[in-house]
Structure 1
Amino acid sequence: MKWISEDIDMYLKSREYVDTIVLPLLPISLGEDMKSSVSMTEFISLLTNQLERQFRGRLIMLPGFSYLKNDSSEKNFLDLKIWEKEFKEKGFQHVFYVTSDSYWRTKETELEGSLIWLPSLPLENMDQNYKVSILEDQVKQLLNIFVQKWNQQ
């Protein structure tokens, strides 16, 4: 379910069946690495939209945790921990973070949720059909990860 009124109405009616929340981690940079930041954000946004379609009704897809890439990394991490605490307090058994920013891999063991890091693919110059095909392949891999995590419990 997306972070939109219609989907949240559906969630409120069936929240006991929704145990998973997904938060895309989206870096923002206006400096030299702006293009890289945009590429990561675009890739993760498209990917998580596809993922939400596959698991509609089983998870809530949040709009994203945007943060300044050049800001204090520790501040970003502490802010994310506050979000994580809220997710757990609201009963979400499974928390997934999806990102292309390699910084988060250094913090993976300190997160209670599951970090899924994927290298960003430069989608801007791809043919639309090829882009869709690549995203579908990536989503298939993510589907397996999600199912494995769900089955661990």
Structure 2
Amino acid sequence: MRWVQKDLLQYIEAKEFVDTIIIPLAPFHLSNDSELQKSGFQSEALSILMNEIERDLAGRVMVTPTYAYLKGADKQIEIDRLNKWQDDVSNQPVNHIFFLTFDSTWKKHERLLNGTLLWLPGLQSGDLYSAEMQTVVHDQVNELSELIRSYWETME
């Protein structure tokens, strides 16, 4: 399920089946021109990945709006804010919260997050709509879906 009206109405009716929340994390900045293309590419790639993962794991997963933060922001402030998101989610029948990002700086802070960080290395630039990139995206979706399913198996 995605953060759109139709899916949220469906969530209200079937929330006992949705046990996983995915929060995409994406840095924002306009201050570094040399990084803008990479940042835009990764933001678009993250959106495509989220749509495909949601489709692959439909019925058990809710994808929240993307959590955007300034690239140079104090990570402790962002961690506190993200953990408040998690606090709100904890009022629901949710067993798993995943934070998904291309930003490697989160790895140093993952133990402070009230959820599981899934860091995706690799995608830096390219044509997201080329056949080669579609294969890469498909492979990453399969790997992420399998990883999320492995967390489900430990709870069953």
Q: Give the TM-score normalised by the residue count of structure 1.
A: 0.92
**Any unmatched runs of 5+ in structure 2?**
none
Secondary structure of 1:106 counterpart: helix
2:94 aligned partner, one-letter code: F
**Any unmatched runs of 5+ in structure 1?**
none
Separation in 2 of the partners of 1:74 and 1:43? 26
Q: Tell me if 1:31 matches 2:27.
A: no
Q: How big is the shift at 1:101?
A: 0.5
Identical-pair percentage: 31
Secondary structure of 1:152 counterpart: helix
**CA separation of 1:133 and 1:69: change in aligned 2, threshold 3 A:** same
Q: Which moved more, 1:121-130 or 1:64-73?
A: 121-130
Separation in 2 of the partners of 1:74 and 1:36? 24
Q: How big is the shift at 1:123?
A: 4.4
RMSD: 1.5
Deviation >4 Å, runs of 4+: none
Aligned pairs, how many?
153
Separation in 2 of the partners of 1:73 and 1:45? 22
Q: Which moved more, 1:87-96 or 1:142-151?
A: 87-96
Separation in 2 of the partners of 1:119 and 1:131? 14
Q: How big is the shift at 1:90?
A: 2.4
State how 1:1-150 maps to structure 2 within 5 Å. Answer: 1-32=1-32, 33-125=35-127, 128-150=130-152
